[in-house]
Amino acid sequence: MSLFVKKPLSQMLAQAEGGEHGLKRTLGAANLIALGIGAIIGAGLFVRTAAAAGQAAGPGVTLSFVVAAIGCAFAGLCYAEFAAMIPIAGSAYAYSYTTMGELVAWIIGWALIMEYALGAATVSIAWSEYLNKLFDGRIPYEWCHSPFESFTDTAGVHHAGIMNAPALIILLLLTLLLIKGTQESAIVNMIIVFIKVAIVLIFIVIGWQFINSGNHTPYLIPENTPPVTDSAGKVIADYSGWNKHGWGGVLGGAAIVFFAFIGFDAVSTAAQEAKNPKRDMPIGILGSLVICTVLYILFGHVLTGVANWKDFVDPEKGREASVAYAISTYMTGYSWLATAVTVAILAGFSSVILVMLMGQSRIFYTMSNDGLIPKAFGVLHPKYKTPYKANWILFVFVGLFAAFVPGHVAGDLTSFGTLFAFVLVSAGVWVLRVKEPNIPRPFKTPIYPVVSTLGVLICTAMIVGLDAQTLKVAFGWMAVGLVVYFLYSKNHSKLRNPSDLMPKASDFEKH
């Protein structure tokens, strides 16, 4: 049987129903939009905005958000068509299985581990860092850093990390929440989303009063802007490149802020738990993308109006402390808002971790039902109907990474996994339109095939733009995945063994 054997769409739809042994359909359109916002708005909004302004776009970072949103929209429209047509938990993995075959589906399923599992680990480490900031560094260094990190303080005392306990704790709490139920997780996520969006809106409303129109003039970085150096004479910002000033800088800024949009695709992993997926999935995917884009543009306009974009050239201001810096320096009397922003960042991280853990467990669930990974990943809790064993296995894997590995190790691997998924989903729409033109499509990607083609080209270009080291590690990870496929998955595939295709009720009762 061919390596590219395709899973029949009829079988995929039957699996989506699941009956009494399937995932519970408890999510409405509002829940799905909240899941999208929960995954999208993390620290990226507070960090990437200032970084893009200081490095490439200036006040024009608002235009960079528009460009990045358009790029995401191409992939988002393709996701919406698939999610409405094939409401199953596997997201890009499931869509690829029915359009491009098993090997391609396995590859994208393996790549998605980089987006969701490694992404959750990296974000949990960052969550630990911001929690320590909120407590003014009171958490002992040894218990909030990995064994591979150390430093010597001003008194000459050497400190070495033991484990990142806060990162492990937040992963455990969110894992327990996910096991308890999808509806409960969605409710908590909506509360978190309300908190962080409220703080973003408060910053926009209050900050609007402190906008200095002179900070928006000129709106784009001039071509002849001299490089900026630090106290040691080292160049920390050079604006001579085509993508560092003017309209080129807007595009350069878009490449930076693009990663603040990553996460909307996680909505598609909840398709099998949506009450009315044909209607609600497009609303959830595109609605969360639109809402976040509007918030991003307003936030960028206020931030670069309150503080001059040149303030953000300095890494100490232009990265993690950008918003707090702008508030404490230019917004007299609102020091409490800087603390609130830190709370918003923690809330943002929490919801991102929650959605990533949920998305990865649902992909594992679908891959397990297809026989490509062990059965344990597909076992549902007898009471809560959640893939609890997948959640526990994922907690161990992600927890080990978060507790004992430095956060920077993952680098841009999360972005690689995301962009790779975008490429295959965009291509999949084109393939299925050609091969299965008569399949009912509750939602159709508009301006076909222009949108799907642009989705492939733009996301491929962004993959090529990743640094060489990231690409080497990513392709190394993919090579390991191929070994696993040929040693295990190929031989256990239910599509290749029709007698094992449909699980029996007794299989669930055993668990």
* Per-residue pLDDT tens over the stretch 209-254: 999 999 999 999 988 888 887 666 777 778 888 888 888 888 888 8
Residue 268 lies in a domain: yes
Residue 217 lies in a domain: yes
pLDDT in tens, 132-171: 878 888 899 899 888 888 877 777 788 888 999 999 999 9
SS3 label, residue 426? helix
CA-based torsion, 122, 381, 279, 457: positive or negative: positive
Query: What's the CATH code of the domain at 13?
Result: 1.20.1740.10
Higher pLDDT, 272 or 411: 272
**For residue 158, what is the enclosing H or E element?**
strand 158-160
| pLDDT of amino acid 17 | 62
Residue 3 lies in a domain: no
Residue 4 lies in a domain: no
User: Which residues partner with 274 through β-bridges?
Assistant: 27
pTM of the model: 0.77
| pLDDT of amino acid 337 | 87
What is the domain range of residue 340? 9-509
- Pairs from 281-284 (Cβ < 8 Å, separation ≥ 24): 281/32, 281/80, 281/83, 281/84, 281/87, 281/443, 282/80, 282/81, 282/83, 282/84, 282/442, 282/443, 283/29, 283/32, 283/33, 284/29, 284/31, 284/32, 284/33, 284/35, 284/36
Q: CA distances (Å), 185 to each of 40, 160, 176, 350, 441, in order?
A: 17, 36, 10, 12, 30
Report residue 262's pLDDT band, with 50, 70 and 90 as the boundaries. confident
| pLDDT of amino acid 505 | 42
Query: What is the domain count for the chain?
Result: 1
Instruction: Tell me the average pLDDT of the chain.
Output: 83
Residue 1 lies in a domain: no
DSSP classification of residue 265? G
Whole-number Å distance between alpha carbons of 71 and 459: 8
Residue 126 lies in a domain: yes
pLDDT at 197 over 70: yes
Residue 296 lies in a domain: yes
